[in-house]
Amino acid sequence: MNAVVQVIIFLSGLVLFLLAILFLIPSFYRHETQAGIFGLVGAVIGAFLLAAALLPLPGKSVLAGALVCLAFAFGILFILPIGSFHRKDERPTMQVDERTIMFSRRRLMPCTPRYENYYRDHPEQKNIDDSIRALPGLLSLSSPMADPWAFAATQAGFFLTESLRDAVDGPTVTAPQEIAPEVVSQYLKHLAQYFGAGKVGITEVRDYHIYSHVGRGSGEYGEPVVLNHPYAIVFTFEMAEEMVHTAPKAPEMMETALQYSEAAQTAIQIAAWIRELGYKARAHIDGNYRLILPLVGRDAGLGEIGRMGLLMTPDLGPRIRLSAVSTTMPLTCDPPGDNSAVLDFCHICKKCAVNCPGQAIPLDDRQEIEGALRWKINSEKCFHYWNTVGTDCARCMMVCPYSHPNDPAHNLVRWMIARSGAARRIALQFDDLVYGRKPKSLTGPKWTQMKMQ
């Protein structure tokens, strides 16, 4: 009996100590002092349990019993159907006109026919948009977050993506080669990852994936979008955690520009590869989309549309950028995203909404919008803040518990919250306790803090 007690205490202490060390080391490396302190406390408790198992201390049976009860209670909570999320139809019934989105509206120049025509049809947006135009603007050196070197690096990344805009499409090289959809789909995914992509998914193109009219990029502004491609391949690109966690400061936007350019290069290469095999293909990259990529990504099985309106992936949350290729090449589709655990976590978490400086993210439940249940952000408020501070903010992305690094401790948490509603609720409480309900921005890599003399 005494040996059993010792084994229970020793194994409990060893597991806690190892988990705490896995959490402690990266926390101090990233200068997350509060999280590091909690890791240190966990390591001390684990070391105490290890010592208690080896030393002739009184009360070992009581301690072992308490540990067994704690493990049993958590096991019961883990399997209870807490936080079950009932899905409804989440497919929109309407297409979006790209001319109405903020990224297109910001390009309208006062006193031009395009400006006059747009606001004649949408007078309710004119005062809001004109007030945004009066702000310093994105990457403005007169904005509060101005950083000349970081802003120049950001502009360089966007310059590369813009330079690739006309390479998104082209003629097929040969007659279509005969291929097996299952085989070519797997090869294509590996090829995309070889080119730099993270996760890759394939889906059928549906009407609600496609913008109804051109609002930016190649093509004639205002013309109807014609995209007779039955399939789409969508790619994720991880944004570096150490850069994202500086948000809303300039290093985060450097990372945004970098990953958009990486996403563009991969999509353009994949589209060119498909055309070499005789099939039509168009890349969809930042500033030159015909597809609404979060919806395509969701239907390709890569994640869910979260509270902040972005694609939430199970492993990185919103800490990604996307690109896609639509094509006539026959492919095998992946099952659509059905990750109710992610939606349940977004439902209870609300951390992005609480921390949104522009108060653009809703705190209430999902509503039916355009035929689909979703959380709808206020894009005007979001864009107003961007143009006030000079960066794309990303505060929502930074505070999201899913955005934590890919290390063993956080990946264990991701594994548990994917399988248990109780674990999701416990993990959220610990995340608030360890990182704070309103986490502070980090400083980022030292080299990003160097300033022009």
Give the start-to-end residue ranges of the domains of the chain. 1-79, 98-398
Mean pLDDT of all residues in 397-424: 91
Mean pLDDT of 338-350: 91
pLDDT tens figures, 115-136 = 999 999 999 999 999 999 999 9
Tens-place pLDDT, residues 243-294: 999 999 999 999 999 999 999 999 999 999 999 999 999 999 999 999 999 9
pLDDT tens digits, residue range 290-304? 999 999 999 999 999
- Residue 303's pLDDT is 95
pLDDT at site 367: 87
Q: What is the reported pTM?
A: 0.90
pLDDT of 133: 96
pLDDT value at position 209?
97
Confidence grade of residue 80 (pLDDT, cut at 50, 70, 90): confident
> Over 90: is that where the pLDDT of 57 sits?
no
Residue 194 pLDDT class (50, 70, 90 cuts): very high
pLDDT, one tens digit per residue, over 369-404 is: 877 888 989 999 999 999 999 999 999 999 999 999
Q: Which residue has the higher pLDDT, 39 or 132?
A: 132
pLDDT of residue 73: 77
- Tell me the average pLDDT of the chain: 90
Q: Which amino acid is at 346?
A: C
The pLDDT of residue 453 is above 60: no
The reported pLDDT for the residue numbered 352 is: 97
Largest CA distance in the chain: 87
Over residues 68-79, the pLDDT tens digits come to: 777 777 778 777
Mean pLDDT over 421-425 rounds to 92
